[in-house]
Structure formats: C-alpha cells, structure tokens
Structure 1
Amino acid sequence: MNELTVVVPAHNEADVLAAFHQRLGSVLDALPLDSAVLYVDDGSTDGTWSAIEALLAADPRVRALKLSRNFGKEAALTAGLDHVVDGAAVVIDADLQDPPELIPELIAQWRAGSDVVYATRSARAGETRLKRLTAAGFYRAMERLSDTPLPRDTGDFRLLSRRALDALGRLRERQRFMKGLFAWIGYRQTAVYYQREPRHGGHTKWNYWRLTQLAIEGITSFSSAPLRLATWVGLGSSLLAFVYGLWVLTKALIWGDPVRGYPTLMLVILFLGGVQLLALGVIGEYLGRSYAESKQRPLYFVEEERLGR
C-alpha cells in the first residue's frame, strides 16, 4: 500500500520527463512514507511514452497509463486519480513550472488535518504580462460569478486526501473543470504559497484559444450568471425598444412622420439582432453541455497500463 501517489499528466513532454523525474525522485527518496509515481500519457505524438517506459525500467515506484488518444488534460487527470486506489495523491505537471520540492510542505499540511492542500502562485516567472493579466482576470471573475469559491492564482498542483479522492471519484460529469471540482467537494482546504518557475523545456500546450475555451468551460460549469445576464440584457433591450417605440409614435402623432430615420432604424435592428444572437449563443453553450452529458460517454479509454511490478 502506497501512502502517497504522485499523478503526472503528460502530453508531448518527452523533453522534460527525465529531468522532472530526477527532481521528483530526490524528493520522494527523502519522504518518510511509501510513495509511487503515476504518469498518464494523454495521447502524445512524440516520444513521451518511450520516456515513461524508460522510467518504468529504472524506478520501481513508477506506474503508467497510456490513453487511447488525446482526451485533454482534465480527462487525463481524472484517469490518473481514478487509478489511485489507496492513500493520498499529489497532482503536478511535468513541465517543472511547479516545483516537486514543495511536496513535503503539502504533506505537512495534510498531516495537520487538511484534505485538500493547494499550491497558490505568489509569482509567475516566464509568463508575459498579458498572460498574467488575463489569468488574474479569470480567477477574479470566477470568484464573483461562481457559487463555489475558487482560490485565486491556483492551478492543479495540490494534494488530495483519501476522503477527497473518494468524493471526487463520485463526480462523473463529462464537461470537467477540475479546479472547480476540487473546490466543490469542500472539506478542509489549505493554501501553500510558492513562486512559479519558467518551463524547463518543450513548449506550452495552452495557447490563448485553449485558455479561452477552458475559461468558458469553468464559467459555464460552475455558474449560471451568463444566462441571468442574457435575461437582464434582453429585458433591458426590450424596455429601451418599448420606450423608443412610444417616442416614435408620439412624434408621428404630433409632428407627422416624413420618410426619414433610416440610420436610426438600422442601428436599432442591428443592436437588437446582436443582443438576440448573443443570448442564443449563451443558451447554446449550456444546451451543448447538457447534450454532451446526456450521451453518457466514458471520460477516457486506456490503451495500455503498467500499474505494478
């Protein structure tokens, strides 16, 4: 029985896995508990699986899952946590932006009674000002919009107790935003602060398009505020249109109505049409998520697994 399993989702991380495992292994060697490392290859197209196989041969603590294709980080993370059958788990990325040397501090807080110990970034080295600004805006928007409070500037790097893992395993929704699910389960949660480092190697998989998709996923998964906003915008637009209609009718009755006002007419039509399309788009986002949930497809498929010696 392992008291701690480190879950590492990896997609095209062949360039950094050896360096990452070397640092992680040094940390695990010093821990006073039994530990294992579970790598999850999320359909990589480079030599990630070969690198994992080399780690399997060299370190008896290493376990591995190879998914049948790229299901996305949230599904890969779920697959890894699903296969932690005993003890607690630490989630960490392989790019070395999150330092493995912080794990003993996470464990100390866990031993003190916390079920979820999350690592909060006090600084984000190696990232552009635009990325830091948009990330800060996203976390603060989620803080206001979501009924479930999310910790600011906190990624997936955290420790989960056995009780937290069991609770998380009962949440099988298809549209997964793991940061929200970690917070939603509740229990005692504690922060540990650290300075995030630049990537050790390779390239980030999170461009602005994928980050925008993740933000939409998070907002629509944990808040109905966009639907309420669409309702209020629709009511406000209807009220403005009604007032404007009364003004046009009054003007026609008192002063007559020569054939004028084409620009105003076009402005009103375009404004109301844009509002309607925006509202339909918001409704479509929620409807699409309901449709995906109704199909009840599995979250992932495992092509190959190496879970023990």
Structure 2
Amino acid sequence: MSALVEIMSPELDKGDMTELSVVIPLYNEQEVITVMYERLTAVLTGLRVTYELVLVDDGSGDGTPAVMRRLANDDSAVTAVFLSRNFGKEAALTAGLAHAVGAAVVIMDADLQDPPELIPKMMQAWNEGADVVCMRRSSRAGETWFKRRSAHHFYRVLNAVSDVEIPPDTGDFRLLSRKAIYALQQLNERNRYMKGLFAWIGLPTTVIEYDRMPRVAGTTKWNYASLFNLAFQGITSFSTAPLRLVVAGGLLTAFLGIIFALWIVAKTLVFGDPVQGYPSLIAMITFLGGAQLLSIGLLGEYIGKTYYETKQRPVYLVHEVLKRGRVVDQMTASSERSHA
C-alpha cells in the first residue's frame, strides 16, 4: 500500500481519536496567542469533551514559536506544528488538518475575531448531522468600509463564475467532520483555495450567522495586495470563466473593428471625407495592445498553475512537531502527507 493510501485511510487515527480538534494557523501572533489559548481552553473545558489544540506556526519571525513551545510543554492537549518556512495560510491550514485527529475539527484564527464561544453551537449542528458547519459573518467590526464592501462583492462575483457554490461572507471559521477531512485529503492540488475546497466536497452543510469581532491584539497580516492575490487565486482555481470572458472580449473587439472599418469606407464613399488616421490608429493600437497583454497574462496565470502542479512539490514541509510534550521529527513524513 502506498504512503498516500495509508494517510487517507479512515483507520489511521482511530487509536488516537479525540472528540474535537481545533486547528489554528499562526503567523507573527505573539501578542494574542496566550489570550486566545486561555479563552479557547475555557470554552473547551466547559464542553466536557476530549479535545486537542493544533497550533501551526507558518514560519513566524517573532516570538510565536517560543509561546507555542511553552504551551505544548505545559498542556498535553496542545500539538505544536512548526513549518520549515512561511508557506502561506492555505498551506498552514492543510498542515493543521493533516495533524488533527478529532472526530470533529474546528478551524479558527488566533486573533479572536471569530469568537471561540460559538464552538458549542457548531458542535450542536455537527451532532445534528452536519458534516460542515460554516460561520457566516453578518457584521464585521473593526474593518474599513472598503474592506467590508469589497469582501461582500467578491463572494458574489466568485459564485457567479465558480463551478461550485461557495457560501458567501464565510471565512475559514468552520467545523468539519472526520468524513469531510477524509474527503479533503483526496484533493491533491498544490494551488489551494481552502474555502473553495471546503465547498467542493459537497457534504451536508449548516450555515450559522454571527457578528465578527475586532482583533484582540496585534495587527492584521493581510494587506490589500495579499487579499487581491487570494481573491484572484480563488477565482482562477475554481473557474475558467475569465478565459471565456477574454474570448468574448476578442469577438466583441473584432466585431466592433469590422463595424468601424465599414463606417470609414461608407463615410469616404458618401461624403468624400479623407481618412483621419493618426489619432484613431494610435487609440486602437493602444487599446488592442493592452487587451492582448491582459489576455496573455491571464492565459499565463492558468499555464503557471499547471506548471506548479506538474512539479508535484509538497504543499508544506514540517520542521518539527511537539505533541504531548514530546518532540517528533516530521521533515520526511510531511513530504508524503503534505498534499493530503
């Protein structure tokens, strides 16, 4: 049996199954991680279930790894996963899900914008049969008007062009059943847009609305350039509609060019006007040149995704893992399971 089949096997984690895992990707979050841990453990203790916290350090450059080591050494319920460098949030989430062993897995950010006090409600929906529990933001406190509106419109545009229906106004804050985790582990792509992958598996989903809170401490690591890149990744990962739009734009441009040429000929024959070529020629060359470069760039984006997929590089590499106070070297093993 191949290593990949062994990783996906439902029997893999039975001997180490807990009722609930909470996966938290971390990147330069030293200001908030201790507060997050205290609030989260208070909620989980009140649930009276066996649980684990899977903290994933995505190559932080501050004191985040040191705080994670302290928590892992002091609390046997904490598993600390240290990636070899910064691979991005989507890769960190993939790593966290690969190391989580719970029957239910909750994903949340460390900044406490997603209140851990909502986990009992998520667990209730899971107990009632939902394999995926999405948390939809009815309000987004602490964010600018532009960010709120751009996020709102992005989800609508994404669903308009996407091959799958992605619940609007939902982030990574959600609960996944063990069945959903096994389904995700069969998706091997390297260019990962996790919100789309969560929707693609198509298992029974419950949506719960909540009010998103401001950050408790620290500053966001997502600037507008990063958010635009993530949005573009989402659209190009789950739709070829941009390529179809380029084709439609090319046909429309060709049609308008024919109409314009016929107009020039008719005007010259009927009115005898000389062809005023220079301004219109420069305008058309500039417009068509820009459209061609945009089309080539968009085509190159899709070809680039194919290029990276063919390399078959792992999504992430793990430097080490601290579990139940014990250090485990995972650099070799992570290469096998990183695309799970």
TM interval, short-chain normalised: over 0.9
Superposed CA offset, 1:140-199 (max 9, x none): 111211121111110000000000000001112111100000000011000111111100
In the alignment, which residue of structure 1 is the partner of 2:179? 163
Pick from 302, 306, 309 the counterpart of residue 286 of structure 1.
302
Across the aligned residues of Structure 1 and Structure 2, the Cα RMSD in angstroms comes to 1.3
Of residues 301, 306, 314 in structure 2, which corresponds to 1:298? 314
Alignment of 1:191-202 (within 5 A): 191-202=207-218
Does the residue aligned with 1:60 lie in a helix, a strand or coil?
Answer: coil
Aligned counterparts of 1:260 and 1:143: Cα–Cα separation in 2:
45
Contact persistence 2:134–2:170 (CA under 8 A): yes
134 and 189 in structure 1: CA distance in 2 versus 1, 3 angstrom threshold:
same
Out of 66, 80, 87, the position equivalent to 1:50 is: 66
Cα separation, 2, equivalents of 1:184 and 1:39? 25
**Equivalent of residue 31 in structure 1, options 43, 47, 64:** 47
Aligned residues: 309
State the match for 1:204 in structure 2.
220
Match of 1:150 in 2: 166
Q: Which amino acid aligns with 2:99?
A: H
Counterpart code for 1:95: D
How far apart in 2 are the matches of 1:84 and 1:160?
11
Separation of aligned partners in 2, 1:160 and 1:5: 10
**Which of residues 116, 121, 145 is equivalent to 2:137?**
121
Corresponding position of 2:192: 176
1:254 positional shift: 4.8
Distance 1:259 1:162 in 2: 71
TM alignment of 1:1-309, pairs within 5 A: 1-254=17-270, 256=272, 258=274, 260-309=276-325
CA distance in 2, matches of 1:149, 1:86: 27
For residue 282 of structure 1, what is the amino acid of its counterpart? Answer: L
Structure-1 separation of matches of 2:315 and 2:186 = 13
Give the CA deviation at 1:259. Answer: 5.9
* Structure 1 residue aligned with 2:9: none
**Alpha-carbon shift at residue 243 of structure 1 (Å):** 1.6
Deviates more, 1:133-142 or 1:107-116: 133-142
Q: Which amino acid aligns with 1:107?
A: M
What TM-score do you get using the length of structure 1 for normalisation?
Answer: 0.97
State the secondary structure of the residue aligned to 1:25: helix
In the alignment, residue 47 of structure 2 is paired with which amino acid?
L
Q: 1:249: how far off?
A: 3.0
Letter in structure 1 aligned against 2:317: F
Cross-structure match for 2:331: none
- Code of the aligned partner of 2:159: E
User: Could you tell me how far apart the structure 1 residues matched to 2:62 and 2:109 are?
Assistant: 17
CA distance in 1, matches of 2:196, 2:309: 17
Query: What is the distance in 1 between the residues matched to 2:192 and 2:27?
Result: 18
Contact between 2:72 and 2:323, CA under 8 Å: does it hold in 1? no
Is this contact kept in 1: 2:243–2:299, CA < 8 A? yes
Amino-acid identity (%): 54
One-letter code of the match for 1:290? T
Give the SS at the match of 2:147: helix
Q: Report deviation, 1:25.
A: 0.5
Task: Measure, in 2, the Cα distance between the counterparts of 1:86 and 1:101.
Answer: 19
**In structure 2, do the counterparts of structure 1 residues 232 and 259 end up closer, same or farther at CA, with 3 Å as the change threshold?**
closer
